Structure 1
C-alpha cells in the first residue's frame, strides 16, 4: 500500500470524472430502457404421472420395457423434431405476427422455450417414490403458453400409447414368425428322422438288444441242428452197417415199419416243440407226417402173415427215407438260419454308425424343440402383454395436472437488468479511464521522470493555475468532454 500513490490516482479519476459519469449514465439509461420495454414472459406447467401397472407383475408381465424415463426421452426427441414443431406452431398460430421468421428460427425458438423435466419427490432413504414429469413452455401470452403445454401433453400421451402398443405388437409379430420358423424346422427334421428310421429299420439302436438275443437264439438253434444232423447221419450209418452185417434191423421186430416211423416222428415232434412254436413250419410238417402215418397204420391189414416176409426191408427203407427227409429239412433250415444270421450280423455291425447319425438328428431335434418351446412360451407372454397394453392395464402415463394460464410473469427480471446495467456502466466508465491512461505517455510525477530519463531531479514544481484559469477551464472542459463522448 505504501507504493501506491492514492492521491495521484484520485486526481486522475477526478480529472476524468466527466467521462466516467457520462458513460455510466448512458449505459444505465440503456439498461433501464431495455428493462422497461421488454415484454413479460409467462410459463405454463403441466404434470404427467407415471402410473404403476394395474396388474401385478408377479402374475402377468408386460413385454414393453419398464424404463419409462427412457421412453419419455424418446418421446421428447420425436416430439421436438422439425416437422412436429412447425406443425404445432402453424396449428396454434404462434408466429402469425412474425411472418418473416424462418422455419429454422421458429424451431430453435420453440425448442428453447420448451422444457420437460422429471419431478423430484422427497422420500425416505431407500424407498421408491412416485415418478412424474413436468412439461412447461414460455410465451408472452399466458393463454398461448397454456395451450402449447396442453398440446405437448396430448402428444406425449398419444405417442406413449402408440409406442407401447407398437412395441408389444412388434414383439408378438417377431415371436410369431420365430415360432413358425422353428415349427417348420422341427417338422422338417422330424421328417428326416422318420425317413432315416424307415431306411434303416432293421439296424436301429432301439432294437439292438432284441437282435442280439435273436442272434444268440439262431446260433444256438444252428448248433442244435448241427448236432441233430450229426446224430441222424451217425444213426443212418449204424443202421446200414447193422443190416449189412446181420440182415435185420435190431430192436424193431415187434413193430411194423410204419409204427416205428410213427414213434420216431412223435419223438422228434416232442423235441422240436421244446425249441419251436406250434406255428413253426417244421412242427406243422411233422404233424402232417404223423397224421399221414396214423392214417396209413389204420388202413394196413391186421394179420401178421401179410407182412412177415417184408417187414425188415420195408422197415429199413422207411427209417432211411425218414432220416434222409429229416436231413433235407435240417439242411434247408440251416441255410435259412445262416442267411438270417448273416443279415442280423450285418444289421448289428451297421447299428453303431446308424446310432451316431440318429443321435445327431435327435440332438438337433432336441435343440430345436427346446427353442420352439421357449419361443412358444414367450409368444404366450407376448400375446398377454399385447392385451395388457391394448387395454391400458400396464404402466402408463396420466395427466396429473393440466396447464392453466399463469397469473404472474416469470420474467424478465427488470431489477436485475437495471442493476446489471448500472454495474456495467460503472465498469465501462472505469475501463475507459484506465484505457485513456494507458495511452497517455506524458510525464506527470517525479518517479516517472526518474524511470523515463534515468536522472534524479533536485526538486519538482507543479504548474499552479490561477483562480481565473481554473474557472474558465472548468467551464470549457465540460461541453468539450460531452462533445468528445458523443463522438465516441
Structure 2
C-alpha cells in the first residue's frame, strides 16, 4: 500500500519517531567528527609573485622575447613542477622522511602538496601588457618544512623566469649569428663567382663595352679610309700604266734636275775646293740622282769620288770625326757601286722614274692591303668580344643583383643581431620583466587543511539525511493505516469518523519510562556531540 503523506502525517511521524532521527543523527555526527579530528593537520606556506612587462620602452630597445607572459609562466611552472625537479626538492628538504618510496609515489606526494597557480590580471592602462600573478604554495604537516619548500619553489620559479627569457633572447641572437654567417658564406661565394667569370672572360667584360664600340667604329672608319686609299692608288697605277709610253720617249723632271745640279756643281768646283761643304753636299745629291737615273755615269763619278775620299783619308788623322765621316762615306759609295754592278744593266732616266713611281705605288698598295688585313683581324676580334658581352653581362648582372640582395640582407641581419644582443643584455640584467614578490613564504601558524568547519557541515548534512531516511523507511516499506486520511484514500466516498483512543495508567507507565529513557539517551548523545564538535573545531 502507498499513501500520500499530508503535513499532519509528517508532524505525526516527527512526534512519534523523533528519537529515530535524533539518536542516529548524534551517533553518525560524532563518528564523522571523530574521523575529522583524526585527520592530520597540514600547514600551507605560500608566496605571491607579480610578473610585470618590460620596463624599458619598446621604442628605445625592443625585446626579442615576444611570447605572452602567461604562456611563459606556464612553461616556467612546467619546468619547476617537472618530476625530476620536484622529487629532487622533496629529497633535499626531507619531505619523504625515512620511508622507502618509488619515484612515482614521491612524485604523487609532491604534486599533491605543491601548487603553482597562474592568474592573468589586466592592468587599468590601455596599451600595456597584462600582468601575471603567480601563487606558489606547499602544504606539509611540518609548518617549517612547508615554508622552506615554498621558498625553494619560489626561488626556482624566479630563476627559471630569468633563465627562460635569457635563453630565448640568446637563442634569437645565436640564430641571427648563424644566419649572418650563412649570408656571409653565400656573399663570399657570389664574389668568387664574379671574380672567376671576370678572370675567364677578361676581354668580354661589360665595363669595356663603350671602349669596344668606339674602337669598332674607329676601325670601320679607318678601314673605309684605307679602302679609299687603295682605290685611289690603284687608279694612280692605272694612270701611270697609261703614261708608260710617255716615260719611254721623254725625259723626266728628275733628269732635268740632275742636269741642273751638274751645272751648279761645275760652277762650285771652279770657285771652291772639293772639301767645301756645299760642294760635298751637292756631289752627294748628284750621285744619288745618277744612281737612279744614269747608273753608268754613277759608276764613273762614284769611282772618282772614292779615289778622292781615299786621298783625303791619308791627310786626316785616324780617329778624328772627319776621318770617320770620310771613311763612312767611302764605304757607302763602294757598297752602292757593288750593288749597282749586280743589276741587269742600265736603264734610262725615264724608265727609272717610271719604275720608281710604279714601285712606290705598288709598295703603297701592299702596305695598305696589309693595314686593311690587320684592321679586319682587329674587327673580327672585337666582334667576337662584343658577341660574348651579352652572355657575360647577363651572368654578371644576375650575380651582382644577388650580391646586392645578400648585402642588404647582411646589413639587415647585422642590425637585428645588434638589437638582439641589446635585448639579451637587458634580459641578463633582469630589466626585461620585473618580478615583484608581493608575499614571501612565511611560517604558517594555523593549519589550512583539512577545512574542519566545511567538513563538519558535510558530516552534519550526511548524518541528518541518513537519520531522516531511517524515519521514512518504515513508513514507505511497511505502510499501515495511521490516520483518517489513509482510510479515506483506501475507501473513497465512504464517510470516516476518527474516534480518539484512551489509554489507562498501566498502559501509559511503560511508554513514559521508554520515552524518558530515549529522551535521556538523546540528551546524553547531544551533549557528547557538542563536546566532540567543540574539540574538533577548536
Which TM-score bucket, shorter chain as reference? 0.7 to 0.9
Residues 368-408 of structure 1 show CA distances to partners (whole Å, capped at 9, x for unaligned) of: 33333333333333444444444545435465653221344
Shift of 1:56: 5.9
- Matches of 1:127 and 1:191 in 2, distance apart? 50
Conserved in 1, the CA contact under 8 Å of 2:255 and 2:293? no
Distance 1:470 1:323, change over 3 A: farther
Distance 1:353 1:406, change over 3 A: same
- Matches of 2:438 and 2:496 in 1, distance apart? 85
Q: Which residue of 2 aligns with 1:327?
A: 365
Tell me if 1:217 matches 2:218. yes
Tell me if 1:180 matches 2:181. yes
Residues 302-351 of structure 1 show CA distances to partners (whole Å, capped at 9, x for unaligned) of: 79888776543333322221221121121112122222222322333333
Tell me if 1:354 matches 2:354. no
- Matches of 1:48 and 1:72 in 2, distance apart? 11
Q: Runs of 5+ in structure 1 lacking a partner?
A: 258-295, 483-488
Q: Which residue of 2 aligns with 1:433?
A: 471
Q: Which residue of 2 aligns with 1:313?
A: 351
Structure 2 residue matching 1:433: 3-state secondary structure: helix
- Matches of 1:437 and 1:211 in 2, distance apart? 123
Larger radius of gyration: 2
Shift of 1:83: 1.4
Distance 1:312 1:80, change over 3 A: same
- Matches of 1:78 and 1:303 in 2, distance apart? 115
Q: Which residue of 2 aligns with 1:204?
A: 205
Shift of 1:245: 4.7
- Matches of 1:68 and 1:179 in 2, distance apart? 29
Residues 105-149 of structure 1 show CA distances to partners (whole Å, capped at 9, x for unaligned) of: 443343343333468889655385876644222333332221111
Tell me if 1:422 matches 2:465. no
Structure 1 residue matching 2:191: 3-state secondary structure: helix
Q: Counterparts of 1:55-204 in structure 2 under 5 Å?
A: 57-65=58-66, 67-96=68-97, 99=99, 103-117=103-117, 124-126=124-126, 128=128, 133-204=134-205
Conserved in 2, the CA contact under 8 Å of 1:242 and 1:248? no
Q: Runs of 5+ in structure 2 lacking a partner?
A: 259-280, 295-347, 522-538
Q: Which residue of 2 aligns with 1:459?
A: 496
Distance 1:316 1:193, change over 3 A: same
- Matches of 1:382 and 1:363 in 2, distance apart? 28
- Matches of 1:84 and 1:43 in 2, distance apart? 20
Structure 1 residue matching 2:286: 3-state secondary structure: coil
- Matches of 2:513 and 2:77 in 1, distance apart? 66
Distance 1:448 1:4, change over 3 A: closer
- Matches of 1:148 and 1:205 in 2, distance apart? 76
Residues 11-50 of structure 1 show CA distances to partners (whole Å, capped at 9, x for unaligned) of: 1333332221122212322343345444544332334454
Shift of 1:297: 10
- Matches of 1:242 and 1:411 in 2, distance apart? 142
Structure 1 residues 358-367 or 247-256, which shifts more? Answer: 247-256
Aligned-residue RMSD, C-alpha: 4.0
Structure 1 residues 347-356 or 462-471, which shifts more? Answer: 462-471
Structure 1 residue matching 2:203: 3-state secondary structure: helix
Aligned positions, number: 440
Shift of 1:79: 0.9
Conserved in 1, the CA contact under 8 Å of 2:293 and 2:352? no
Q: Counterparts of 1:347-426 in structure 2 under 5 Å?
A: 347-392=385-430, 394-395=432-433, 397=435, 399=437, 402-426=440-464
Distance 1:62 1:123, change over 3 A: closer
Conserved in 2, the CA contact under 8 Å of 1:139 and 1:145? yes
Conserved in 2, the CA contact under 8 Å of 1:115 and 1:135? yes
Residues 223-254 of structure 1 show CA distances to partners (whole Å, capped at 9, x for unaligned) of: 11111110110011112212335647999569
Residues 409-465 of structure 1 show CA distances to partners (whole Å, capped at 9, x for unaligned) of: 44544334334433332233223333443323445556656766x764343667946
Structure 1 residues 226-235 or 346-355, which shifts more? Answer: 346-355
Q: Which residue of 2 aligns with 1:336?
A: 374
Conserved in 2, the CA contact under 8 Å of 1:256 and 1:315? no
Conserved in 2, the CA contact under 8 Å of 1:142 and 1:405? yes
- Matches of 1:345 and 1:297 in 2, distance apart? 55
Q: Which residue of 1 aligns with 2:242?
A: 241
